[in-house]
A and B are shown apart, each in its own frame.
Chain A
Amino acid sequence: MEDYLALANSTPLFLVVGGVLLFIAVTCVVFIIKSYRAGIKIGMGSALLKRTIFSSALFTLVPSISILLGVIALAGTLGLPAGWLRLSVVGNLQYEALAAGSAAQAMGVNYSSSSLSTQNLCTILLVMTVGISLGSVISIFFVKFYSNKLNRLGTKKSSGGSSFASWAMTAMFIGMSAAFIGSYVAQAVNGPLGRIERTDSYTLSFYIPLMVAAVSFLSMSLCRWISSKYKRFEDFSLSLSMLIGMASASLLALV
């Protein structure tokens, strides 16, 4: 019997995944073209639109590298094509490994390349995909209805003045950031009390996320101050602050 990982990494599988991802990439390009043209027509100016594309791509660069790590982690068990597909579309880094492990367990096999068969691979991949696809399916049927409803509920159609909508979005984001920062504080409190499991061997293990968040917070504050003097620096502020935060994690792990 041919080696499982050799089959899971065979060329035809790469071609299938490449074809599917090419379609998704084309979808993104179509949306860029449509919204760019509409932006120009409503008078937004090409400089602003190009800057949005550039800063969003730049913002995504560093987190994307961490997703690549997830691909490597999945590839060890499910093969590279499956990891490539699962982390390029629908879902997220945290979900995939968890779903794959649970699926293997539910089928009564160990989640390791030495235990899996190609049938397990295809079944696990189907479970992972179906398990996370509901959001996309709902979006096909309900985005139009829901967004039209939201438009009617009073969002404005043109600029001018500050509305509650802007504050609601800022508040939502404050809530989202608070949820993450709160979890880092809880980790620092619960870890030493033995209420959560240690996942690595670093001395400062439980404190590292909170300390890293603090370093990033300070770096970003400094970057914002620099941006207030040099406008173009603003595009790089977040990526730079994140890199400083990540570098501090490596240093803190050495303690």
Chain B
Amino acid sequence: MPFDWEEYENSIHKTGIIMVSVGIALIISVPFIFAKILSTSIDWSGFAHAILRVGPTYWAISIVEFLVYVPLLGAGGSYLAFITGNIINMKLPCVFYAKDIAKVEEGTKESSIISTLSIASSALMTMLVIFLGVLMIVPLTPILENRYLQPAFANILPSLFGALAAQYFTKSWKITIIPLAISIVLTTAVPSLINQTSVMMIPAGGVAIAIAFFLYKTKRLEKKKEAVNAR
């Protein structure tokens, strides 16, 4: 019997919707279960004050992230990424790297499969490492908090994005130069943006896509792309 891709996609949506709904309900119920076990209750007035302070910024970011990430992660990958978190610092680079190694074309069935497999295995690995860490928290804490290792862990993102820059900037310096310059100028002029990389991704990514579109339309990208694919 021939494989029906649409049926597969529908089943991914169905599974995603059911499992994320149950998952998020379980996660949100945890504070209430904790309260029951600890014989206490939620301080609703405190909750209202706190959520008004914390929520709006992250809700706005969540909407932007949803619009940006779904095209990058695909359907299956998106359900998993939103429920397991750490998207910008882990899932997204992981998916890109996996697609790069697999040499799949974006927007294809193959790309969708790689994306889902990559995010699911990445999420499982994170959960496993944290689970083992929780089991061995007593012997591990002094090692992880060792003063010589602290700077290494504090610089995991520069290590990650330095390495990824070598992978992606070199694919097209023509696309890279202007977004990089914009990012440097904006964050230097407005230092509060230094810790707002989710926000900075929007102008830098938008300009990069616009430049790529222009270069693609004027056929100045193809040659290099083929060279990359042939690598």
Contact = CB atoms under 8 A, between A and B. Distances in A.
A127 B50 contact: yes
A126 interface: yes
A103 to B, nearest CB: 4
Contacts of A143: 13, 16-17, 70, 75, 78-79
A119 interface: yes
Contacts of B85: 89-92, 132
A241 B137 contact: no
Interface residues of A, number: 171
A139 B82 contact: yes
Given A35-B117, A72-B145, A103-B50, A142 B66 contact: yes
Contact of A131 (B19, B49, B54, B70): B54
A107 interface: yes
Given A35-B116, A143-B70, A168 B106 contact: yes
A252 B52 CA distance: 41
Contacts of A57: 121-122, 124-125
Nearest to A218: B166
11 contacts: A13-B38, A27-B83, A39-B117, A53-B117, A55-B98, A59-B97, A84-B131, A88-B84, A173-B164, A202-B151, A246-B156
Interface string A179-209: 1111111110110000110001010000011
A146 B70 CA distance: 8
A64 B93 CA distance: 13
A17 B102 CA distance: 35
Contact of B35 (A122, A173, A224): A122
Interface in A113-127: 117-127
Contacts of B167: 220, 224, 238
A89 B54 contact: no
Given A30-B19, A60-B125, A180 B194 contact: no
B92 A176 contact: yes
A12 B151 contact: no
A16 B30 CA distance: 7
B95 to A, nearest CB: 8
Closest 7 CB pairs of A and B: A182-B183, A216-B162, A175-B205, A245-B159, A213-B162, A155-B107, A186-B187
Contacts of A221: 166, 170
Nearest to B183: A182
A247 interface: yes
Contact of B113 (A39, A62, A196): A39
B204 A176 contact: yes
A31 B9 CA distance: 12
B87 A56 contact: no
Contact of B129 (A32, A52, A61, A218): A61
Given A146-B67, A176-B201, 17 more contacts: A16-B33, A24-B23, A35-B116, A56-B95, A123-B50, A135-B66, A170-B171, A170-B212, A178-B204, A182-B182, A182-B186, A190-B188, A190-B191, A215-B162, A216-B162, A238-B167, A253-B151
B218 interface: no
Contacts of A75: 137
A68 B129 contact: yes
Contacts of B68: 172
A31 B80 contact: yes
A77 interface: no
Nearest to B93: A59
A209 B50 contact: no
Contact of A175 (B12, B62, B129, B204): B204
B184 A135 contact: no
Contact of B37 (A10, A92, A177): A10
A76 to B, nearest CB: 10
A255 to B, nearest CB: 11
Given A42-B3, A178-B176, A71 B70 contact: no
Contacts of B169: 174, 177-178
A23 B165 contact: no
B62 A134 contact: yes
B46 A120 contact: yes
B87 A63 contact: no
Contacts of A190: 188, 191, 194
A131 B45 CA distance: 16
A164 interface: yes
B120 A28 contact: yes
